């Protein structure tokens, strides 16, 4: 496109990042009860599950796929955790088992997508129901709440004297790993290529199917980790834990400027999107904005997130005085065999 | 600790002690004014909870305190509910009246609130006892479970197959009632009544609809359905009234008069019951104020005066019963509007 | 032939002093052009000279920044391709623009299907008209088959059929022959002549100069977006034309160096992919350039794809330097020193939304690594290095390849693969859409690579190129290898005879 | 050009008839696979419970599918253009309530249905305008409008609800009535479905929807009014969501602010199961309708077989995956067979 320089000037992920900073600063200044340690720890703690899943989801979306079963995988690992706990197993064995289960869930998605060539949207809508259903079979209507307090405290507590939840630190490590993997490692580079043109990537010797399989598996792993965290954070393992989380993740990631056609976006943008939504919700609740109005705000924000850059570009183009009729080069139709 | 050094459920049991209700009650303490009580229903925009919370609002106005309502727009967004508890804690309200989506998930947040000197009353749906000061039970589980079986048995002449259409499989109160229904059915006079199935409609109109269809297809000889949930009974009634089963398959359970008026009049339903949700909300509000004023602490045996509603005594585990439910039939249904 | 303007006829379509810029790139600068009825007009220029941009301006895709489009002498403004079409202008774009999910017939008649009562589409009439068009072009394509999976050549044919179906007053063709072999080109020219004689104005672009001389009466030359000349072709030589385009004299077009072939680098034995090609065996030695010739659809591309591993083969084996390759694994083929420049640069060669730098870098993800991370400095210098070596014309190395002209995109694909330093290089139509100057450059490069010991397998539909560059010519016909012809024996006659299956040479 | 290849004999009579018919058959096959899965499922259920296909049973099956069929039909039009409309659930909810409020005040049922459709058209236009004029990703925009419409709906509706008692008896009876086993609502859905399918196949603008989904850039170059078509597809989708809202009201006699919540996922599943591809350009509304029928039937089959509801969700998901996998495998097999048969050589 003619306006590469302009697109770079108004990169949406930086805008989201800036917006997040602005919202935080304004809230510190003007919103009662926002700035204190307790509230900040609430904010971070409640946003963490979304942020955790947003990490692999961003990678997946960059490579042109999607996983809607993440919340169900989280629910399933929570349920299994509860069931095994009820059986009297030690928590130290249970958690690895749950993570392994997540790997299996992700692997199933990945195999269905890569081996059978099914669209990931359809597959994961299916597994979304299947995993949730299995969770229900495993745990039934029980709610397991009596996990050991040192684990609960870790998941819900914060570092003494600060607003930082304990769990935030491991998240930061994971974030750093994901950023490096996506933006600096050959693996991440190949994901962008796969997302932008799977066929061209294959012709460049990139092992498309393998990379995708790895990604789905990682997504499963992170989902189950989130499931374990969720059960401990809320001290409740139920089969319907984290229901609907996938939509929040998708919305946040989209807000962060990740293009669902694949091949575009940055992790920084996605995570900024996650915390922007989290912070806004927190502020709006403190300001007694009703849940319904919050939904509208989220929606408007999403629409603006795509219209905004576009309008900005149009304006700067108009100002440049040259109304070059844009000829967006669409992706070549991929002739699949 | 176990042999391999890990932590198991057994270890936790040992360490667990119950958080005791602190302080001492002074029944004669003055009722405080200018308090703020935050209502956190399972779901905002749910007509049942709206009526209940309106009852609470009215009572608080009378008592000179202020009311606010927050909540999630989905009935299963537990994380959302937790974050609302946090918000209320953050806003330093004096008391929270909450209907819990999950008995355990709210605990950490509610304890956090109690630590910050906020009184916690649960209504309609309880949490674990140690996470709140008192629970307002809409009616004793016993009453609800048994009367519904009695009504159904009477309608089908003490003979035939019946089924239950419940809400979510995890709904605490539903499960308690269902247990009591099963217990009641053990009575020899119901020897010809057979409970063939418990189905779950998840308080979703469409799902409840299809579950009703399924029940009737699976059990062609079904004589009656008990649906102890307002959404379920409404969906079942709508299905029955538009099908060949209308009037042949009996239906009873918990429903609101406004929802059910039409089906009572067109003969789909003979009778159903419910407590007055407004009263439930009112009692929750009054209990909250009484707690904040120090008139009660939530211990068994304490009593307090709940305005025009009369005097209530706190039962075991901090449970306060609202009273017996009302039975609605074609004769009296028009006298109610909620 | 007398020049139409001499006989007093007015231009049907013309450009007057048109300029067009894309950001900082000035693609057209004060260009004028006149198209007369009954005349075939050539447009010549190097890659990126602005030919396609000019065509898109005529077709209403681009709006000129300055200047006018004149239709029958009066200025017009086309608000979109639809307007131009309604004015009787048919366009074949450089890159095929088909609907992969729709049938060939629908592709051709989209938007102007024959109708029945109440505006319903007459499916049968559409089908029959398509079949008639295919007959006219002499190709066997089922009108009802979906466009997905058509080879580039067949796609081009469908594009041509689409343009012909208009009975347009003006026919504009942007490199329609780039993917075609001799027989199809001859057919096409036959049809174009008929149209011309019926009074249509034709604008024709090709980098094969002999084609220009063959069919065109006049030529307009562009250089760097600027108009250089419009003149009759009569009396001009190819060298004259090249000088106009390039601004200097050209090196030899086929600078083939003599080398003595070394040991066997690539050997393919009894390779079969069911229904596509059968029992294909050949070998390529170090230093050799072996051409794979054949008609469109003979299966050459398919063989290359299978050898490189993007398709699986059903039987047979492939060895590089004596080590067998894994079936269906391009990454191991790459590791073994194999490189494939694919025929469809837009779908297979490039990630269109990525920058030049990243596209070239894509094949080096494994090599430009430091401590497990992509070494950005090394990546950039590797990309810059090759972009410069191949004289890619670009504004910034970080621009997306979608903004490059067709020929320059092709150069990026070459750069991407040459940068891997392959032992065996397979190039599928390497000079498709590349201007003469660069073509000579690519040939020099291939020749140099061969001299340095690389084994080159070249698939080309450009017969002079095959004859000029190859040490040996392998000919395929209907999925089988039908002939192997040495450099000395290879002539247009022997190759074509084998390619059409008339003679086993 | 100096070489003129010896010209091949013009291939006058391409063997088109055979190949054509086979190609045709594959396209039908795609829907056939789903139909097969559906019939097998129904067969098994009937064997396990003879009540299942009683008159009432068939009626229920059809009624359950009706609303989803309508919305899926609209959705597939949008998906064919390589877009998506996630806001259909919200649109359905708000249209149903709009119609309900009007009827509650003693309105005319026909006007109420029109009102619902118009509401749907309004939101469809909004989506279409945002997507086509702004040229922005449909997924984001319609996820946005999903929230916006849902929010507006719940602010407007609050805790109000409309129950069967508030509605004219005739309207509610219409929702469950019909001619023997065939409900009125199903007839409406079928009529809409057939008309849409006919339009898509036999009208220029219908084919253009496929074209622009298949390759938007080529569509622009072919002079197709891309924006207008996308706008039209969204409007149609909105209109059907609105109509579905009105039918929902008639069928369930009950609407509140939560009506249609989460419906978009079901609709998308139906469309995907029905073989309408998300990258645009292919699929048929019949496929989508079959997908809808399959999906809703799964929900009826399990209770009818007496499967404990604990198992229902898991089985649902597995059946869904099975359906698309079977469909895919059948399609692959057929494509392979065709390739071998059509092979030019060997
Ligand atoms: N959409 C666009 N955005 C930015 N630059 C463009 C765009 N289209 C063309 N250009 C630039 O305009 C110049 C002319 O390109 P054009 O495609 O007209 O060349 P061409 O003469 O057709 O070359 P070729 O022979 O390689 O096809 C090139 O420098 C190209 O990079
Ligand atoms: N991706 C594909 N999917 C399905 N069929 C294909 C595909 N690519 C090519 N074909 C078909 O396979 C046959 C062999 O084509 P191939 O491209 O190998 O021929 P070729 O000799 O290389 O000719 P060309 O000059 O067109 O490249 C043709 O009938 C072509 O239409
Ligand atoms: Mg060009
Ligand atoms: Mg080829």
Kindly list the residues from chain A whose CB atom is less than 8 angstroms away from the CB atom of residue B89.
38
Q: What is the pTM of this model?
A: 0.85
Work out the mean pLDDT of chain B and round it to a whole number.
86
Average pLDDT over residues C92-116: 89
C167: domain CATH number?
Answer: 3.40.50.300
Over residues C440-498, the pLDDT tens digits come to 888 988 999 999 999 999 999 888 899 999 999 999 988 899 999 998 898 888 988 88
CA–CA separation, A269 vs A271, rounded Å?
6
**pLDDT of res. D28:** 55
Separation of alpha carbons C163 and C178, rounded Å? 16
**Distance separating alpha carbons of residues C252 and C440, to the nearest angstrom:** 7
Domain co-membership, C77 together with C161: yes
Chain B nearest C-alpha distance from D259 (Å): 9
Last residue within a domain, chosen from C384, C403, C420 = C420
C198 assigned to some structural domain: yes
Q: C78 and C171, same structural domain?
A: yes
- For the ranges A88-92, A224-228, D235-239, which has the lowest average pLDDT? A88-92
Check residues D51 and C13 and name the one with the higher pLDDT: C13
Helix spans in A88-163 (H): 91-114, 120-139, 149-156
| Residue D59's pLDDT band (cuts 50, 70, 90) | confident
First to last CA, chain A: 29
Atom nearest to C297 CA in ligand 2: 19
Which residues does chain D have within 8 Å of residue C502's beta carbon, measured at their own beta carbons?
6
Residues 6+ apart with CB under 8 A from A321: none
Residue C110 domain-assigned?
A: no
Q: Give residue C416's domain range.
A: 352-420
Domain A11-313 has CATH 1.10.3470: yes
Number of domains in chain C: 3
Residue C73 and residue C194 in one domain: yes
Report the residue from A125, A134, A305 with minimal CB separation from D314. A134
Q: Of all atoms in ligand 1, which is nearest to the CA of residue C55?
A: 18
Surface of A (154-193) touching D: CB under 8 A: none
Closest ligand 2 atom number to CA of residue C479: 14
Contact across the interface for B47 and D159, Cβ inside 8 Å: yes
Query: For residue C254, with 0-12 CB atoms within 10 Å meaning exposed, 13-18 middle and 19 or more buried, which class applies?
Result: middle
**Does any CB of chain A come closer than 8 Å to the CB of residue B44?**
yes
> Strand pairing of C170-174 and C89-92?
parallel
> In terms of pLDDT, which residue wins out, D29 or C5?
D29
| Complex ipTM value | 0.83
Considering chain C, what is the average pLDDT of its residues?
89
pLDDT, tens digit, for every residue of A126-171? 999 999 999 999 988 778 888 898 898 888 888 888 889 999 999 9
Is C270 part of a structural domain of the chain? yes
The pLDDT-based confidence of B2 (bands split at 50, 70, 90) is very low
Domain ranges for chain A, please list them.
11-313
CB contact under 8 A, B169 and A141: yes
**How many angstroms separate the alpha carbon of residue C478 from the centre of ligand 4?**
13
Domain identity same for C20 and C56? yes
Residue set of the binding site of C: 45-52
Tokens linked to A20: 């997040």
Q: Decide if C460 contacts C202 (C-beta within 8 A).
A: no
Asked if the Cβ–Cβ distance from D1 to C100 is below 8 Å, we say no
Domain assignment present for residue C104? The answer is no
Q: What is the mean pLDDT of residues A7-35?
A: 82
pLDDT, residue B259, reads 85
pLDDT digits over C61-94, tens only?
A: 999 999 999 999 899 999 888 899 889 999 999 8
Calpha distance B212→B227 (Å, rounded) = 10
Residues 6+ apart with CB under 8 A from B318: B21, B129, B132, B133, B134, B135, B298, B299, B300
Instruction: Judge whether residue B55 has pLDDT over 80.
Output: yes
Query: Taking residues B274-290, what's their average pLDDT?
Result: 92
Q: Is the CB of C184 under 6 A from ligand 2?
A: no
- Which pLDDT score is estimated for C5? 47
- Boundary (domain end) residue, out of C398, C420, C442: C420
| Cα dihedral across residues A241, A247, A248, A250: positive or negative | positive
Same-domain status, C407 and C432: no
Q: Is B170 on the interface with D (CB under 8 A)?
A: no
Closest CA to C177 of D269, D3, A65: D3
The alpha-helical segments, DSSP class H, found in chain D are 16-48, 55-80, 88-104, 109-134, 138-157, 169-176, 184-202, 204-214, 216-221, 226-252, 263-273, 285-304, 309-342
Residue C138 lies in a domain: no
Phi, psi (5° rounding) for residue C236? -85, 155
Q: What is the pLDDT of residues B185-217, one digit of tens each?
A: 999 999 999 999 999 888 888 888 888 988 888
The residue among C391, C420, C449 that closes a domain is C420
Percentage, residues of chain B above pLDDT 90: 36
Interface list for D 176-195 with B (CB within 8 A):
176-177
Using the mean position of ligand 2's atoms as its centre, give its distance from the Cα of residue C301 in Å. Answer: 6
* C297 CB within 6 A, ligand 1: no
- The pLDDT tens digits for C54-69 are 999 999 999 999 999 9
Give all domains of chain D, ordered by start, each with its CATH number. Answer: 53-344 (1.10.3470)
Same domain membership, residue C376 and residue C275:
no
Name chain B contacts of D54, Cβ cutoff 8 Å: 217
Give the DSSP letter string of D103-121: HHTT--HHHHHHHHHHHHH
Q: How far apart are CA B246 and CA B248, in angstroms?
A: 5
The reply to whether C39 touches chain D by the CB within 8 Å rule is: no
DSSP string covering C115-150, please? B-GGGBB-HHHHHHHHHHHHHHHT----TTSBSTT-
Angle at D20 between CA D14 and CA D26, to 5 degrees: 150
> Which pLDDT score is estimated for B5?
61
Residues C363 and C324 in one domain: no
Is residue C22 included in any domain, yes or no?
A: yes
**Structural domain includes residue C129:** no
**In terms of domains, do C155 and C66 share one?**
yes
pLDDT at A32: 82
Same domain, C410 and C263: no
- Cα angle vertex A204, ends C470, A57, to 5°? 170
Supply the pLDDT for residue A280: 92
Beta carbons within 10 angstroms of residue A95's beta carbon: 18
Task: Pick the range with the lowest mean pLDDT from A11-15, A108-112, C305-309, D73-77.
Answer: A11-15
Closest chain B C-alpha to A40 CA, distance in angstroms: 10
Specify whether C70 is located in the same domain as C168: yes
pLDDT of residue C34: 93
With a CB-CB cutoff of 8 Å, which residues 184-213 of chain D face chain C? 201-204, 207-208, 210-211, 213
CA distance C234 to chain D (A): 16
Is C461 touching ligand 2 by the criterion CB < 6 Å?
A: yes
What is the number of CB-based contacts under 8 A between chain A and chain D? Answer: 152
**Contact at 8 Å (CB) between C199 and C37?**
yes
Residues with CB under 5 A from ligand 3 (ion): C 52, 94, 406
Judging contact as 3 or more Cβ pairs under 8 Å, the answer for B and D is: yes
Ligand 2 atom closest to C294 (CA): 21
H helices of C165-197, in order, are 182-197
Same domain? For C252 and C216 the reply is no
pLDDT (0 to 100) of residue C425: 95
Average pLDDT over residues A62-82: 95
Residue C130 lies in a domain: no
Question: What is the DSSP code (8-state) at residue A144?
Answer: B
Among all residues of chain D, which has the CA nearest to that of B49?
Answer: D159
Please state, rounded to an integer, the average pLDDT across all residues of chain A: 86
Cβ distance B217 to D51 less than 8 Å, yes or no, reads: yes
Smallest CA–CA distance, residue D286 to chain C, in Å, is 17
Q: Looking at per-residue confidence, does A319 or B137 come out higher?
A: B137
pLDDT of C39 strictly over 50: yes
Q: Given pLDDT bands bounded at 50, 70 and 90, which one contains residue D102?
A: very high
DSSP state at residue A180: H
Pocket of ligand 1 contains residue C364 by CB under 6 Å: no
Chain B residues 58-87 within an 8 A CB cutoff of chain A: 68, 70-74, 76-80, 82-84, 86-87
**Is residue C232 located within the same domain as residue C288?**
no
Contact C331 A205 (CB under 8 A): yes
B3-35, pLDDT tens digit by residue? 456 778 777 665 444 444 456 777 778 888 899
For B46, which of D159, D165, D310 is closest by C-beta distance? D159
Burial class, D168, CB count within 10 angstroms (exposed 0-12 / middle 13-18 / buried 19+)? middle
């Amino acid at each position: 496109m003619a306006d590469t320089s302009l697109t770079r000037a108004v990169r949406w992920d930086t805008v989201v990042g800036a917006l997040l900073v602005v919202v935080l600063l304004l809230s510190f200044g003007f919103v009662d009860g926002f700035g204190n340690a307790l509230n900040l720890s609430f904010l971070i703690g409640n946003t963490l599950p979304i942020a955790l899943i947003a990490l692999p989801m961003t990678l997946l979306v960059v490579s042109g796929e999607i996983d809607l079963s993440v919340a169900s995988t989280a629910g399933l690992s929570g349920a299994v955790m509860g069931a095994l706990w009820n059986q009297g197993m030690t928590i130290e064995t249970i958690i690895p088992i749950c993570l392994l289960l997540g790997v299996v869930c992700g692997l199933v998605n990945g195999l269905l997508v890569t081996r059978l060539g099914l669209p990931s949207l359809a597959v994961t809508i299916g597994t979304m129901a299947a995993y949730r259903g299995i969770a229900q079979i495993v745990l039934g209507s029980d709610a397991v709440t009596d996990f050991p307090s040192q684990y609960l405290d870790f998941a819900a507590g914060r570092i003494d004297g600060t607003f930082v939840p304990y769990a935030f630190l491991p998240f930061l490590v994971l974030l750093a790993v994901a950023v490096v993997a996506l933006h600096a490692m050959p693996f991440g580079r190949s994901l962008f290529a796969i997302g932008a043109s799977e066929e061209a990537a294959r012709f460049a010797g990139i092992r498309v199917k393998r990379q995708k399989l790895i990604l789905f598996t990682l997504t499963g792993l992170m989902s189950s980790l989130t499931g374990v965290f969720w059960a401990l954070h809320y001290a409740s393992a139920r089969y319907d834990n984290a229901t609907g989380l996938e939509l929040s993740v998708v919305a946040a990631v989209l807000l962060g400027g990740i293009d669902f056609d694949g091949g575009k976006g940055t992790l920084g943008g996605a995570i900024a999107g996650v915390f922007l939504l989290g912070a806004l919700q927190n502020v709006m609740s403190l300001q007694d904005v009703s849940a319904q109005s919050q939904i509208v705000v989220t929606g408007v924000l999403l629409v603006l997130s795509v219209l905004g850059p576009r309008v900005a570009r149009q304006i700067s183009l108009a100002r440049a005085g040259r109304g070059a009729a844009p000829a967006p080069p669409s992706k070549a139709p991929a002739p699949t065999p | 600790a176990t042999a391999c050094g890990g932590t198991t459920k057994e270890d936790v049991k040992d360490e667990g002690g119950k958080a005791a209700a602190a302080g001492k009650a002074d029944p004669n303490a003055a009722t405080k004014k200018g308090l703020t009580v935050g209502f956190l229903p399972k779901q905002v925009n749910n007509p049942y909870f709206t009526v209940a919370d309106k009852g609470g609002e009215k009572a608080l106005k009378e008592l000179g305190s202020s009311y606010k309502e927050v909540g999630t727009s989905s009935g299963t967004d537990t994380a959302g509910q937790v974050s609302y508890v946090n918000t209320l804690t953050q806003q330093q309200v004096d008391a929270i009246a909450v209907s819990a989506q999950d008995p355990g998930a709210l605990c950490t947040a509610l304890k956090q609130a109690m630590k910050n000197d906020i009184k916690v009353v649960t209504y309609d749906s309880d949490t674990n006892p140690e996470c709140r000061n008192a629970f307002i039970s809409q009616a004793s589980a016993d009453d609800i479970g048994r009367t519904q079986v009695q009504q159904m048995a009477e309608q089908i002449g003490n003979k035939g197959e019946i089924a239950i259409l419940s809400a979510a499989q995890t709904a605490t109160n539903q499960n308690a009632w269902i247990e009591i229904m099963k217990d009641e059915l053990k009575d020899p006079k119901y020897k010809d009544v057979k409970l063939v199935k418990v189905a779950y409609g998840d308080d979703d109109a469409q799902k409840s609809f299809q579950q009703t269809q399924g029940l009737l297809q699976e059990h062609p000889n079904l004589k009656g359905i008990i649906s102890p949930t307002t959404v379920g009974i409404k969906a079942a009634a709508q299905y029955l009234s538009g099908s060949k089963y209308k009037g042949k398959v009996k239906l009873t359970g918990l429903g609101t008069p406004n929802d059910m008026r039409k089906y009572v009049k067109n003969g789909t339903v003979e009778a159903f019951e419910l407590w007055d949700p407004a009263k439930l909300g009112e009692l929750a509000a009054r209990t909250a104020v009484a707690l904040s004023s120090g008139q009660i602490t939530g211990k068994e045996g304490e009593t307090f005066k709940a305005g025009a509603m009369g005097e209530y005594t706190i039962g075991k585990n901090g449970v306060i019963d609202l009273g017996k439910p009302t039975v609605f039939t074609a004769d009296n249904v028009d006298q109610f509007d909620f | 032939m007398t020049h139409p303007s001499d006989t007093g006829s007015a231009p049907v379509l013309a450009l007057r002093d048109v300029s067009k810029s894309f950001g900082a790139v000035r693609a057209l600068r004060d260009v004028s052009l006149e198209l007369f009825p009954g005349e075939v007009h050539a447009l010549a220029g190097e890659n990126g000279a602005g030919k396609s941009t000019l065509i898109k301006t005529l077709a209403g895709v681009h709006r000129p920044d300055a200047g006018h489009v004149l239709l029958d002498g009066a200025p017009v403004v086309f608000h979109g391709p639809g307007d131009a079409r309604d004015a009787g202008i048919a366009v074949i774009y450089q890159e095929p623009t088909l609907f992969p999910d729709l049938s060939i017939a629908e592709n051709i008649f989209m938007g102007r299907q024959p109708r029945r009562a109440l505006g319903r589409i007459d499916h049968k009439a559409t089908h029959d008209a398509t079949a008639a068009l295919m007959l006219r072009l002499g190709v066997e394509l089922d009108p009802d088959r979906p466009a997905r999976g058509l080879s580039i050549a067949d796609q081009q044919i469908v594009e041509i059929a689409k343009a012909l179906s208009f009975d347009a007053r003006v026919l504009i063709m942007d490199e329609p022959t780039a993917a075609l072999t001799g027989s199809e080109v001859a057919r096409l020219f036959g049809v174009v002549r008929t149209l011309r004689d019926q009074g249509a104005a034709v604008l024709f672009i090709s980098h094969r100069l002999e084609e220009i001389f063959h069919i065109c009466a006049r030529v307009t030359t562009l250089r760097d977006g600027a108009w250089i000349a419009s003149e009759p072709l009569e009396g001009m030589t190819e060298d004259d034309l090249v000088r106009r385009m390039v601004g200097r004299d050209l090196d030899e077009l086929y600078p083939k160096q003599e080398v003595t072939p070394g040991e066997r680098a690539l050997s393919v034995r009894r390779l079969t992919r069911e229904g596509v090609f059968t029992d294909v065996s050949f070998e390529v030695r170090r230093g050799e350039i072996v051409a794979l010739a054949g008609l469109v659809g003979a299966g050459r591309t398919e063989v290359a794809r299978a050898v490189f591993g993007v398709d699986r083969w059903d039987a047979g084996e492939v060895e590089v330097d004596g080590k067998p390759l894994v079936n269906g694994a391009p990454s191991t083929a790459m590791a073994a020193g194999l490189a494939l420049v694919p025929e469809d640069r837009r779908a297979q060669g490039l990630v269109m939304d990525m920058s030049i730098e990243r596209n070239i870098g894509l094949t080096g993800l494994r090599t430009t690594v430091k401590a497990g991370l992509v070494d950005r400095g090394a990546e950039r210098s590797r990309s810059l290095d090759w972009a410069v070596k191949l004289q890619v014309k670009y504004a910034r190395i970080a621009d997306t390849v979608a903004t490059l002209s067709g020929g320059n995109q092709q150069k990026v694909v070459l750069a991407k693969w040459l940068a891997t330093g392959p032992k065996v290089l397979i190039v599928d139509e390497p000079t498709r859409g590349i201007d003469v100057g660069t073509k000579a450059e690519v040939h020099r490069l291939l020749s140099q690579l061969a001299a340095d010991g690389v084994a080159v397998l070249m698939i080309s539909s450009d017969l002079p190129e095959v004859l000029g560059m190859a040490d040996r010519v392998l000919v395929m016909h209907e999925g089988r290898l039908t002939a192997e012809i040495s450099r000395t024996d290879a002539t247009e006659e022997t190759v074509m005879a084998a390619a059409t299956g008339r003679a086993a040479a | 050009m100096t070489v003129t290849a010896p010209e091949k004999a013009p291939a006058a009579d391409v063997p088109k008839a055979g190949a054509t018919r086979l190609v045709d058959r594959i396209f039908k096959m795609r829907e056939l696979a789903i139909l097969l899965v559906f019939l097998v499922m129904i067969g098994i259920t009937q064997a396990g419970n003879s009540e299942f296909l009683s008159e009432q049973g068939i009626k229920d099956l059809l009624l359950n599918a009706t609303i989803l069929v309508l919305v899926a039909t609209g959705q597939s039009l949008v998906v064919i253009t390589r877009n998506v409309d996630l806001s259909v659930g919200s649109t359905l909810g708000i249209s149903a309530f709009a119609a309900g409020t009007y009827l509650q005040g003693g309105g005319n049922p026909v006007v109420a249905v029109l009102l619902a459709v118009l509401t749907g058209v309004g939101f469809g236009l909004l989506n279409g305008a945002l997507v086509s004029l702004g040229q922005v990703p449909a997924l984001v925009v319609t996820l946005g409008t999903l929230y916006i419409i849902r929010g507006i709906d719940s602010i407007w509706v609050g805790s109000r609800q409309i129950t069967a008692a508030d509605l004219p008896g005739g309207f509610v009876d219409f929702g469950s009535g019909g001619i023997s086993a065939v409900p009125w609502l199903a007839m409406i859905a079928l009529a809409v479905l057939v008309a849409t399918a006919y339009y898509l196949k036999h009208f220029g603008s219908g084919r253009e929807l496929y074209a622009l989904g298949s390759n938007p850039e080529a569509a622009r170059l072919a002079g197709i009014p891309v924006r207008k078509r996308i706008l039209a597809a969204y409007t149609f989708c909105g209109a059907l969501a609105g109509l579905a809202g009105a039918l929902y009201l008639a069928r369930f006699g009950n609407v509140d602010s939560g009506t249609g919540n989460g419906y978009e996922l079901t609709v998308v599943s139906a469309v995907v199961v029905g073989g309408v591809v998300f990258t645009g350009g292919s699929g048929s509304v019949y496929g989508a309708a079959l997908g809808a029928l399959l999906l809703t039937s799964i929900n009826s089959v399990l209770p009818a077989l007496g499967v404990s509801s604990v198992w229902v969700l898991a089985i649902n998901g597995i059946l869904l995956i099975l359906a698309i996998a079977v469909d895919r495998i059948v399609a692959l097999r057929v494509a392979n067979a065709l390739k071998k048969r059509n092979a030019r050589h060997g």
